[in-house]
Amino acid sequence: MRRFIIGFFLVFIVLSGCSYPQMRRMMLGLSIQDVTDAPVKESALFDLTPEACYEKILKVLGKLGASNFREEKEKGFITANRFNNAYEFCIDTTSVGILITPAEGGKTEVVVASENYDLGKFVAKEIFESLAPSVPVEP
C-alpha cells in the first residue's frame, strides 16, 4: 500500500509537470526558506518593533482583500494569497510570503517575496508605504 501511495504521488508530479518544490508550494504555500532564498525579493528596514510591523502588515493584507493567511507570529512569518481583487495580473492561489525579523539598532527588517515577482513588488510597496519611514536594504 505504501508503495502505491508513493508511486501515485511520483506519477502525479511527473504528469503535472511540476517539480517537488512547486508541488509543495502549491499544497502548503511559501516557507520561510522560500522567502529568504527567493531570487527576487523586496526588503526594507523600519523604525518599529516586529510586533507593530506584524499588526500593521495584517491590516494592509486585509485592505488588499488577501485571505488564506498562514501566520506564524512567533517566527514573524505570514503567507497570504487571493490578491486577484487588488492586483489584476495574478491568480487567486498565487502566494506572497512576508518575513518580519528584528534588526540592529532597534529596527525591524521586512522581506516580501512571491513567485509572481510583480505581485511581490506590488504587495511590498503597499506594506512599505504603511510602515514608512523606511530604509531600503541593498540586496
pLDDT per residue rounded down to tens, the chain (139 residues) = 777 677 666 665 555 544 445 444 444 456 777 777 888 899 999 999 999 999 999 999 999 999 877 888 899 999 998 898 888 888 777 889 999 999 998 899 999 999 889 999 999 999 999 998 655 565 5
- On whether both 78 and 58 belong to a single domain, the answer is yes
- On whether both 65 and 121 belong to a single domain, the answer is yes
pLDDT score, position 19: 47
pLDDT score, position 10: 60
Number of domains in the chain: 2
- On whether both 49 and 97 belong to a single domain, the answer is yes
- On whether both 16 and 80 belong to a single domain, the answer is no
For residue 114, what are the domain limits?
A: 31-136
Write out 53-111 in H/E/C secondary structure: HHHHHHHHHHHCCCEEEEEEHHHCEEEEECCCCCCCCCCCCCCEEEEEEECHHHCEEEE
- On whether both 119 and 106 belong to a single domain, the answer is yes
CATH of the domain at 42: 3.30.310.220
The helix/strand/coil state of 39 is: coil
Cell numbers 515577482 correspond to 117
- On whether both 69 and 118 belong to a single domain, the answer is yes
pTM (2 d.p.): 0.74
pLDDT score, position 20: 47
Distance CA 108, CA 48 (A): 6
- On whether both 55 and 7 belong to a single domain, the answer is no
pLDDT score, position 82: 87
- On whether both 19 and 35 belong to a single domain, the answer is no
Distances, alpha carbon 92 to alpha carbons 1, 10, 32, 39, in Å = 35, 26, 21, 22
- On whether both 91 and 59 belong to a single domain, the answer is yes
Distance CA 44, CA 121 (A): 12
